[in-house]
Amino acid sequence: MHPLISASELRDQLAETHLLDARWALGRTDGHERYVAGHIPGAVFVDVERDLTRHGQPHEGRHPLPDDAALAAAARRWGVSRGAPVVVYDDDRMLPASRAWWALRRAGLDVRVLDGGWQAWLAVGGEVETGRRTPQEGDVTLGAPGDAGVIDTRSAATWPDAGVLLDARAAERYRGETEPIDPVAGHIPGAKNLPIACVLTDDGRFRPASDIAAAFDGVGATAGTPIAAYCGSGITAAQLALAGTIAGREVLVFPGSWSAWSNTPGRPVATGAE
């Protein structure tokens, strides 16, 4: 199943689709307010900070994955039922929706991301619903993936020895010229920079699969090569994993990302171009 669904396809399948609204943006706390003001009919709000992450120690990064049981309980609280098609969307360039897609997919759920998000839905004249929606408890059963599909700080240190470690942050953060959030500027030694903007269009959609594949190939992340990705705190890395899926690349994710690496004493830091 292709990981993306178009707004026109969703409109035709709306009645049988379970929708998750994952509006979130770094530094903002009004995702739920934006959802209440207008969302796709039937959508249930997903709290990225509460449901798709957990509170951890500094060395775990800003957005560690939730416990497997906690994620499964959240999916049932969202009303997700067995066998129901699930689509997730947001209003921020499909970034938080990609985190939801990745977290749920690795737990065994078939889920797709609305290509273009909320803006694409409005562009096709989709109906808008307002207010809060409290769904009936779902009966979905998620798997317990544990460490499947992820790497930790120790693995990130050695990953470039046998594969390609991708840094999805903007080039100036990768080079260490600026660091607006974390305590140290720079990148993990041996990592290759593939800014997420390289796989997105100007209006925040994914580029064609062939263009994404070319971007991956350009930094050595070719088909068959072991690939892992990190970013600032694990959200954008999940979006790069979704891009990889579109292009036929399997991409593991370092959930702690630079926020974990830079808060772990003794970890080396590289700066400048690769």
Strands 86-89 and 18-21: parallel
Distance (Å, whole) CA 196 – CA 99: 14
- For every one of its 274 residues, what pLDDT tens digit does the chain have, with 9 covering 90 and above? 799 999 999 999 999 999 999 999 877 889 999 999 999 999 999 999 999 998 878 888 788 899 999 999 999 999 999 988 999 999 989 999 999 999 999 999 999 999 999 999 999 999 999 999 889 999 999 988 888 899 999 999 999 999 999 999 999 999 999 999 999 999 999 999 999 999 999 988 999 999 999 999 999 999 999 999 999 999 999 999 999 999 999 999 999 999 999 999 999 999 999 7
Do residues 21 and 44 make contact, with C-beta atoms less than 8 angstroms apart?
yes
165: three-class secondary structure by DSSP = strand
Distance (Å, whole) CA 25 – CA 238: 15
Q: What is the pTM of this model?
A: 0.95
Q: Which of 150, 231, 237, 253 is catalytic?
A: 231
Q: What share of the chain is helix, strand, coil (3-state, %, to 5)?
A: 35, 15, 50
3-state secondary structure 208-268: CHHHHHHHHHHCCCCCCCCEEEECCCCHHHHHHHHHHHHCCCCEEECCCHHHHHCCCCCCC
Active site residue 231: yes
In 3D space, the residue among 187, 188, 186, 184 whose CA is nearest the CA of residue 156 turns out to be 188
136: three-class secondary structure by DSSP = coil
